[in-house]
Amino acid sequence: MNHYEELVDQANLLLSQEAPAPADLQAILIEIDDLINSPGFQELANEERTALQALRRELKAIISQPVEESENNAGEISMGAYVPLPETFEPGMAAVELQPHNTEAESLMEMAERMFYSGRYAEAIKHYERVLQIEPNWERARQHHSEAENYLRTGYIPSVALPAEAASAYGKAQSASRVGRYADALALLSKAQTVLRELGIVRWQEGQEFEQKLQENIDAENVYQEGLKAFEAGQIDDAIERIDTALQATGQPKYANKSQTYRKVKETLRAVNDTLNAPTPDLNGIVQSKAAIDGLVHDYGENPAFQRVRSRLENSIPKATAPVKEQVRSLKSQAEKSTTIEGTLYMAQQAKSQLDTIRSLQGVDESLDRLQNDVDKLIRETEKYEADLQTAQASYQNNRRWPASAARISTDVRTRYPNDPGVVQLNRSLSGYYAGRMAIRVGLVVILLIGLFFLIQWGAGRFRAYTLSLTPTVTSTATVTATATATATATPTITPTPMPSVTPSLTPTPMAGTILRTIWARSGCYEQFNAVGRVPEGGTIRFLPSERRFDSFNRECVLVEYQSPTSSVIGWVLIADVGAARTTPSPTATP
């Protein structure tokens, strides 16, 4: 059994007693302090050092508790009790007593007090002993002599009882410790201890305790730094273990916060690994895992542990995105076949959201780019249809009587989405407009047909007129008809009695024609004028002199006279309805 184990066993034995003797506790505490301040303390394992420090704190806490003194020891000062002392010493303080003292004793007492308050306790003890030799009953000398011996024996020296230089260095050491400058604090404490040793104070318990505390903090900081390095090397569990060790040794909040932070990192990595270990990785889980790893890299930089998980994550991305790509294509196809604008936009937006998720995982991909462009184009077209429908509805509200603009604007959207509720409502609103427009179109067609009919009639009339113009017409012509006359001939016949012959005369050829079909003679040329009489087919008419006239179809008319058995009709007829008159032999003269 080594010295460490013996001390631990003795300390545990004392602590197990109900009322251990203060002297025994003080003795074992001094031995533990000696071991802690010895070079062998650094050779102990980290767990052994931590256990030894914990025993020291527990012993100190028990010793510092108030102890009830018996009546026999009422006048003695306990080993751990301190009497408040003045911060400065003024000559003559020792002489303030109720009764006068020996002059030599007073002089020695004054020197002893000066040394006592300056921290030179060994020299002060010698002077107090000389004072007590002269005046054994001087209570103040006996009290300060006891305190000085107690300081030197136990090392429990109050800060107010420290020499000025040592107190200053000790105060600076405490300030440096509060801001975490433990190495500087240890150097300042060493300076204070050097001052005390020069004054003959070998043991300074508070300084030793403070030194031990500084050493604990330094050791804890070293372990803490080792934990940080382990974390940077990707050894998360080892880092947490080392930081927890530092936390147990000092209890500093910094170590507790860092331990909690690293535990959160460990939990994040565990959750990511659980997601990757699933038989069918969920895309949303993969996305969240990638965001978590990216966040860890952003907060803590590159780390081997992060890289390992990221490699697994990248390998699982294609497996997770393949079914989602098919889902996007299916959504796109459904959106293109949707009969409503709202349905198209909903499914197209879902496809776009899924594509954005895949792109956040895979980055640049040619097939994704084409699919993304198709979905974006579909969304833009559908949004345009929606905007056109809204514009058409607003235009209809502004012009209900003749909403031609609304019908024109909504042509494409009504063709693409005939069953959309908004389109159905708009079609109902435009039904009156469609009916009116159809009526106008029918009217225009009728007018066009009528015009075409008259145009055909006019063309036919022109053609007949042209054909008729190629046929000779009946005109008044002066003719001479030859007649047979008796001519005297030199024949040996009886000469008849000369008779006068008929004198030749001009006989006009009658201007007449035949009606080719039953017609009405009119008061003008032609249909727009009133009928004045009916001329039957085959009827003979006589042409009357008049100027040339044409009807609206450019057909030529002639003025004729028709003699019926009962009446006479004079009027205009179309020249196309008149044929040549029937010819009869002309009368000839007989001799």
Task: Tell me the pLDDT tens digit for each residue of 520-540.
Answer: 999 999 988 999 999 999 889
Q: How many CA atoms lie within 13 A of 197 on its CB side?
A: 8
C-alpha span between 13 and 313 (Å, rounded) = 57
Closest by CA to 480, choosing from 499, 498, 502, is 502
Tell me phi and psi for residue 228, to 5 degrees. Answer: -65, -40
Question: Which stretch of DSSP H or E encloses residue 276?
Answer: helix 253-276
C-alpha span between 140 and 543 (Å, rounded) = 181
Q: What is the largest CA-CA distance in the chain?
A: 242
Residues with Cβ < 8 Å from 418, sequence gap 6 or more? 339, 424, 427
What confidence category does residue 253 fall into, taking pLDDT thresholds of 50, 70 and 90?
Answer: confident
Tell me phi and psi for residue 480, to 5 degrees. Answer: -120, 125
> What six digits make up the tokens of 298?
């952003």
What is residue 90's predicted lDDT score, i.e. its pLDDT? 40
372 contacts 351 by C-beta, under 8 angstroms: no
What is residue 277's predicted lDDT score, i.e. its pLDDT? 85
Cα–chain center distance at 209: 59
* pLDDT digit string, tens, across residues 294-343: 898 999 888 898 898 888 888 888 888 888 888 888 998 999 899 999 99
Which residue(s) pair with 579 in the sheet? 514
Tell me phi and psi for residue 403, to 5 degrees. Answer: -80, 55
* pLDDT digit string, tens, across residues 262-307: 999 999 999 988 888 888 777 788 888 888 988 989 998 888 988 9
Share of the chain above pLDDT 90, in %: 21
Find the DSSP H helices in 301-365.
Answer: 304-337, 341-362
What is residue 77's predicted lDDT score, i.e. its pLDDT? 33
What confidence category does residue 390 fall into, taking pLDDT thresholds of 50, 70 and 90?
Answer: very high
What is residue 33's predicted lDDT score, i.e. its pLDDT? 72
Amino acid at 437: R
C-alpha span between 519 and 542 (Å, rounded) = 15
512 contacts 540 by C-beta, under 8 angstroms: yes
Instruction: Give the 3-state secondary structure of residue 514.
Output: strand
Give the residue carrying structure tokens 């040339």: 548
* pLDDT digit string, tens, across residues 18-72: 778 776 777 777 778 777 767 777 778 877 877 877 887 788 778 766 443 433 3
Using a 10 angstrom Cβ sphere, with 0-12 exposed, 13-18 middle and 19 or more buried, the burial of residue 318 is exposed
Q: State the average pLDDT over residues 81-91.
A: 38
* pLDDT digit string, tens, across residues 163-214: 667 777 777 877 777 777 888 887 887 787 787 777 666 556 666 677 777 7
What confidence category does residue 76 fall into, taking pLDDT thresholds of 50, 70 and 90?
Answer: very low
C-alpha span between 355 and 326 (Å, rounded) = 11
Q: State the average pLDDT over residues 357-365.
A: 73
- Asked if residue 526 has a cis previous peptide bond (ω within 30° of 0), the answer is yes
Q: How many CA atoms lie within 13 A of 497 on its CB side?
A: 0
* pLDDT digit string, tens, across residues 429-446: 888 888 888 999 999 999
Question: For all residues of the chain together, what is the average pLDDT?
Answer: 78
C-alpha span between 207 and 162 (Å, rounded) = 11
**In this predicted structure, which of 60-74, 210-224, 363-377, 508-522 has the lowest mean pLDDT?**
60-74
Question: Which stretch of DSSP H or E encloses residue 535?
Answer: strand 531-535
What is residue 102's predicted lDDT score, i.e. its pLDDT? 72
> What six digits make up the tokens of 13?
């034995």
* pLDDT digit string, tens, across residues 225-246: 899 999 999 899 999 999 898 8
Q: Is the full-model pTM beyond 0.85?
A: no
What is residue 385's predicted lDDT score, i.e. its pLDDT? 92
Sign of CA dihedral 190, 191, 194, 196: negative
Angle ∠(127,128,133) on CA atoms, nearest 5: 100
What is residue 257's predicted lDDT score, i.e. its pLDDT? 92
What is residue 78's predicted lDDT score, i.e. its pLDDT? 33
C-alpha span between 21 and 282 (Å, rounded) = 69
What confidence category does residue 356 fall into, taking pLDDT thresholds of 50, 70 and 90?
Answer: confident
Concatenated DSSP letters for 455-505? HHHHHHHHHHHHHHHTSPPP-----B-----------SSPPPPP-PPPPP-
What confidence category does residue 499 fall into, taking pLDDT thresholds of 50, 70 and 90?
Answer: low
What is residue 323's predicted lDDT score, i.e. its pLDDT? 83
